[in-house]
Structure 1
Amino acid sequence: MNSKLHRVAPFEFVNQLEASLREAFECLHPKLRPPFSLVIPSPIEYLELNQAILYGILTEPQFAKVHFTHLCAIVTDGYKFFVNLIVKIVFELYTKLLDSVKVQLIWISRKMVDVSAEGVQNLLICLMRQIAGGDYSDWNLWLAAELLRIFQDNWEWLLEEPLVLTSALFTYLRLLADHYRLSGVSKFETLKQMEIDFCIRVLRNHFDLCLRIGRDLIRLLQDLSHIPEFQALCKDLLSNPAEFRALGFSDISQIYARRTSSQYHLLHITPEMETQLRFLLTHVRWRNHRRYQTWFHRKFLSRPECETIIPDIVRFICCAHHPPNEVIQSDIIPRWAIIGWLLNCCSTNHVASSVKLSLFYDWLFYHEKSDNVMNIEPGILLMVNSVTKYIDMTCSLLEFLFIRVDNYDVVRRDFLVRGVSSAFHVLVRKGVVHSLEVLTSCSSLSPSLRQRLSCMFLASTSEAFPMAMEVSRFSRPLLPLKLPCPSNGKSQELPVQEMRIPESSGENRSDRALDNSISVVDNSLASCRKPILSCNGFLGAISELVETLGEAAKKSKVTGLQILEKILFLFVNTKFSIGVETPVESSLRPEALAHQIMEAFKDYGANMFDPRVFRPLSCTDEIQSAAALVICTYIFSRHQMMQDMMIFWSRNGYQVGPWFLVYASTIAYEADMICSRNLMDDQSSNKLNYTKMPFLKHHIYKYLSFMRFQTKNCSVTCESDSVVEFKLLLKLKEDAFISYIMFLQSSDASKPLSKLLFSDLHSCCDWGAEGLKPLFCAIFRYLSDLSTGKEEFIHLLVDHSEHANLVALEFDVCLKRFSLFGPDIETIVHLVKCSLNWGSVEQQKLWGLMISELSVSSIQLEKLVPQIFDLSVSDSNVHSIVVEGLFNLCCRCAPSPELVGMILSLPDGNTGGFAASVLASWVVSNGSMLFGSLVECLEKINWEGYLVLQNSTGVVINNSSTLWLLTFLNKGGLESNNHISKVPADVQHLKDKLMQAMVDSGKQLIS
């Protein structure tokens, strides 16, 4: 049967989507002509109507307007289902659609934009993907022109859809590079001018949205730099960024530092090509790869003009296809091999150069925290695996990489060197390649290449690189800072350098290399010779630095932090204290300096101590911040000026307390982790390795920097700068919390410390659930006098903690690392009483924690359990969670004589056999001890009418529990239970005493 939608090859299966649409159209054909039914269709009928109407619109152009009117009359889901049907047709059938159907497809797509249909954004993006690069056929050019007209005719709508706008820009910048090459062809001229006008309009007027594309925007613009309109634009990008009026954009390196999302790379690959590439990279094995590559080449790359699509394929492979480990470890053809084959397919030098740039583009700007190592993996593997048989490939790639580093952006060459060096370092450290020795020791490589490679890699292992967005603000190399020497007034040069950890000979290279996950701010303060400054020297040095702080921070956050560190260290290492009566410049008073610091660093996306920036244990932006620098300096010095600055911020609405709490808690948490790890590794060693704890690592670095400056001793260190003494670690933890408490006391003396602590903790919980476990662990461990047993803290814990964190807390409590509830029974009873008003989930979490702690504590359960029952919670239908918690707690504990006697004394009430159930559990888990405790318990009982414990307050023994035990013994349960086959008591004597008790109580025993 011939299809009215698409071309069907001989022996080709019927497409299921087309078949379902046609079937719906044929069934409902009478209903698709006016007058339309006024009956509201059922959900199933609605879906079938959508299918039938779409088929009618695509195959009956003469009735398209009628069908669309019908659709508008019945729509109930914002056209969502209808649009999804169109997307499926575009994705599955577009290349096979009949020409008339393609025209109707664009017509109905335009209508969907007009009505702002739900999901139309995906439809337009899917249509853009069908515009193939390197394809100059009439229908491909027609599709490009039609979509461009839709965007131009719906400009206001397009501005409200940033993803569609940036996707269109990304698509047409790439197409323009192809179309502009063919000059003098009339059918291209109109389209080329439309593309130029559209791209320039977006870039000039909405550059803030264009920034979302990332660094590949510059790569595309580079290919268009020969077009006059783009020449002027590229010139402004390099020398006049303010022309674009984009908030926060001040230098092109900011774009370099932003990785392009993989969703953009999909735009340059048609869905059919994507399917074939993913099959090639997921299922084809080495021994079969040649015939699949030949087929792919014949299908997509056979025409000479199609070569221009190869750079897009390489970008897709590097950035949008990341195979899982099972594929990487199998004999599936790897990504680097496909890229090597594609390089060999290039017949022209400019295409080969574009392919190499696509391969190495992320290398030039690589930063570990913002980039994915999988994007740069194919490049290194292609070079390494080509050494033995294809050394020319390795030489060509290395030469290209180093040439690009030197010439891609001469002004920002240092930025590119950092990126490539960081890429090499991360590839080795993460084990993508064991080392670079295969390249540096290869005699077939020229000595200059090997030397350059060695220098590049050594640079990466000896420097701690700043974060991408910080480094991106450098437009030229940093110059040494000039600081007036307080002794003679002459300038003393303080070189800007990075702090390094000496390598230890006993470690692997990947372990010795400095972890790039932390950027360590300049530590050059050790070169100062006189840390105790006179008043005049103090004023001169601080005043000059304060004047330069704002301008330096605007150019580079790193430079600003370096200067801020110098200012703070100079303040706290003087015998001079700024007071009200001190005749100093107003700019040096704590309040004024705090305001200047706040203004200097506000350009980096958040205010000081902004909760949107600080997420516990997310240690990149938080460590490298002015707030963290202020906090750690205050911890080391506890200087009054530092305290006054933080109080000023706090009283002006800044989240100083929560920040401080998270900082101290994270330091303590990481310190405790390395203590436990090192003790497991070496019980006798008090040298603790801290290098894999990012917050603690940075804190120790700053402590060493502070001490070197304070003692003018540049050799102050912790052994090899990779281990720390246990005593020092303990001191750092204690100092952090002592400083925090001092801050709380000084911030508001009218409130109790526990209230202030709870307020800070509550603010931290409102920031998000990430990293709350270290917070609660530290608070209950190091601030226990303010938090243990407090209802508000426990409620906050169970309300905001996820199940995984609670389980970890239960382990810590069982190991007695800290206590949540304390040893006071009255406190626990009060907490249980308060919890009756909580939600069921919160109560369950509470009892999980309580069972973990009480089962290993010294609290006498025989006193605690009756008091909880006295709260009138014995009704399991009303307070089932409490009863269940008591039951699990009793079952988990050993049946001591006192506890067994208490269980026997509990009344039945409405608990549904609580006491008997506990006894039954003990019979299985600890039968020997249970019966021994029963004998000991009964010996203490005074038999007078009712069974009453001599040492109790007159509580009557529960006869139903006694009956259960007797029934169990009479039925031979004792002998059949392997757990209690041997008991330290005369069982018959025990049965006699229990039977006598029942008789004395006036009950009849049924044997």
Structure 2
Amino acid sequence: MSSKLLRIAAHEAENLTEVSLREDFELLKHKLKPPFPLTIPSPEEYLQLNRAILFGLLTEPQLAKTHSTHLHAIVTDGYGFFVSLVLKLVTESYPKLLEPVRVQLIWVTSKLVDVSATGVDNLLISLLRQIVGGDFSDVNLWLAMEMLKVLLGHWDWLLGEPLLLTSALFTYLRLLADHYRLSGHPKLEKLKRMEIDFCVKVLREHFNLCLQIGRDLIRLLQDLFNIPEFRSIWKDLLLNPDEFRVPGFSDITHLYHLRTKSRYLLLRITPEMETQLRFLLTHVRWGSQKRYQAWFARKFFCGPERETLIPDLIRFICCAHHPPNEIIQSNIIQRWAIIGWLLKCCRKNHVEANAKLALFFDWLFFDERVDNIMNIEPGILLMVNSIPKYVDMTHTLLEFLFLLVDNYDVARKDVIVRGVSIAFGTLIRKGVVHSLDTLISCNALSPLLKERLVSIFPSSKSGASKVLNPACLPHCSLSPLTLPSPPNTRSQLSLSKELKTPASTREEGLKNKVIDTYSCVLDSPLSNCSTVVKSSESQDDIIFNLVQNLGESIKQSYKVGLQTLDKILVLFANLGSEMLDIAFRCDSVLTVEALACRITDAFKLQNYKMFSPLDSPSIDSNFDDEIESATAVVIRNYIFSQNERMQKMILFWLENDCPVGARLLSYASRLAYEVNLMGCTMDPIDTNNSVDLSGPEISLLKCHVDEYVSFRSSVQKGSLDAPVSISTVNGGLVTSLVEDAFSAYRCYLVFSQNILHKEEDGALGKLLFSDLKSCCGWIRKRLKSLFCSTFSYLSDLSTGEEDIIQLLVEQLDHVDVVGMQFDLGLKKFFMFGLDSNIISHLVKSSLSWGFVEQQKLWLLMRSEFAVSKLQVNKVVLDFFSSGVLDPKVHSIAAGGLLMLCSCCAPTPELVGTMISLPNGIFQDFAATVLASWAVSNAMMLFDSLANCLEKANNKNEDVAHINSGGMRINHSSILKLLSFLNKEGMRSISFPNKEFVSIPEIRAIVTAASVAQESG
């Protein structure tokens, strides 16, 4: 039975909650229409009525008001049981709810709020948890919008529910940080405005309730500092705390010392995420965690912005999941290891820095009387256990922690130093680690880091003098820690004294100076650690000078010009976020558009056009534009960094009508083509098989790997990744680089779709088709690889897409089609998928294609469906029920179906379809298929045939009364099969659980049944 509430796959069992609701609805359906009975239901009947009414409310929107009235009439428990049913459905099954059911669910929730139903606050909190961070899908944005409407529409009631009010504030502050980064999305603009208004209203009017959130309120607000309304709130938090009219709140330090309760940190991960993480941390043993981690990443980090979930997950693991001693002492995977993996999953600088801040946030203000040591345990264990194998992890985490100590809030640095020092002391005293000797004695760590460690926790000084002797240490330094602060952060400590003077005595200019100063401090920890370290107040000047000399570098040597361009892009993409306000001046070369223009003009003077089509004439026939051009340098840097500024830069060329997407797709597909030539294993986890990059046929791949190694080396200091060198390159890394290239292309599609405001033609599949079409005009040699890699790496955008499949059969010759048949037969990818409706539509559309294209289509379909689980019978039925068949138009499709059916197994469903096809233009179709099965798979055919006839006979032994419950059996197909068997010398057929039956006997019975069916 198809579900009316949930999307349930064919392999999934029915949902027990839905079964319970549906059964009671069917049982009491006659009682759910007026006039309602006046009798008082028994306790059991009352529960059944609640379940029945809920099912009716969710599946019969046209009767929703009637069901709602009925519910109000019978309720005796303040709606407690009814709300518990809705809450159970939301918690267990919300992601699977059908779209109309979700709409009704929000309507029902709003009505429950109207009557102040018992427990409705918990229902609203559960719905808030279902809004996924970093998810910009219409369904997710719709839920965020609808929940805001419910909350704002019941404002007075909401003020009486402080936990719900603060939970909603926490949720929308966090969502707004993601939403505000994305501009140009029409639906998002209205939502962002509503989110800003709601959060500001709560913060301004009810700050006393907001304090319940604790110190994580600061962590959320700092992500919103660039929004004018929140900048004003920051100004009052620092300068005029009396504006919030909260007795006892006189300084932001008060908020620092309030621990955030775990219930708030649970808000930003869905129940499904929570379940999977808790399973991972309570049942999965060391050595078995990789496949679970890979599944989790595919499930929850698949979108271009979904990695912003990582800081939320780390806060949850640190503060909301505290395993018992049995787990800690067992061989179950530990929290620190999962956090280390999550940090490795960060690709963007601001996400990586936010993730580190989430790990160390409680360290900064730790108070043993208030805070739980389990909140800071993962940080120290991750640093200690990363030595010696992953010492880079230890180095960057310690470096980041001390940068927080120095820069997070300079005016209150003493508070932070005390917090971190107490954290170290508590961890040692409680036995989490025996001492800090493991860190201090590590020769791979910088001596400056060790000195800072000793200075912030003096108790570790004993025995450290010998360790810190420069003669015993490698020649490494941490000079960035001693660099002067950027101009905006100077004299911060002196300015902090001015904060304590009455507001009326300060000049407005001083206020603005303090606010600008603090904004720089807040931005600092949100940058990648290595970025903060490498930035200086003159970095924008360095880039400016390089750009100014770009033209001269190109004149000196084209190769030197490319090297200069590469340096510019690496510096520009990794420019620290604390430098952005300084660097991105209106007159600066560091604006994205200005830099792109400079690059374009510099190479144009040398007769090179950026992002020109690959079929453009070239001065040098040996020039390979995908390897040794400025465009290739830009593409590689975009793939390696996937930086937001790099995205905006390539958008500049897109807006100037350059085929940017086609160039990116061509580049990625060529990488896949050359990897295939090498025969590398397509498993990015495989790190053992070495590769040989010396062959001339893999020139782009060799260049890409070399540039990747160079890129990683340039950002290695302070990075979380393990060192990469050309000697460590293996098949796993190479194939992973190909995946990254297609991932970058996918991000480009999303980015261009959102920014360019495309509507119908802006669907990702349409954009992909446009780029594929352009590539087909350029790269005739590797067209097959272009389509194969598209179906492999962009399957969700290409599988079953009619335009792409038609383009394929038009462009590929028969040799390439045969090659694709081999790939489909080995399940390397899928072209058509398993949706029979999509395939039937494709078959009907293909009838207007050329004969050659149709033949190629059916060859490919046959190869895929021979090894897939598609229900071919539905495709056959759709074809033969499409109307009047024309042998001149439909002959190739009929022949293709004939080959397809003949190579499929004769299942009862497919055999039943065959014997029910009516006579028509292709009246021998069914008999031919049956005959082919009689030769290739006779036993299964006769088993299925007997099964079908038994059902058609409706369990009546008299075959003359065959009636298939409305399906008319075409007995002539069976008779033709019998004639074929007779000619083959087969005199009888063995049916299951029966003796052999002679063919003349079967013929007589079937003929009689045919006459009876025609007369009846």
Which one has a bigger Cα radius of gyration?
1
Q: TM-score, normalised by structure 1?
A: 0.46
Greater relative contact order (CA < 8 Å, ≥ 6 in sequence): 2
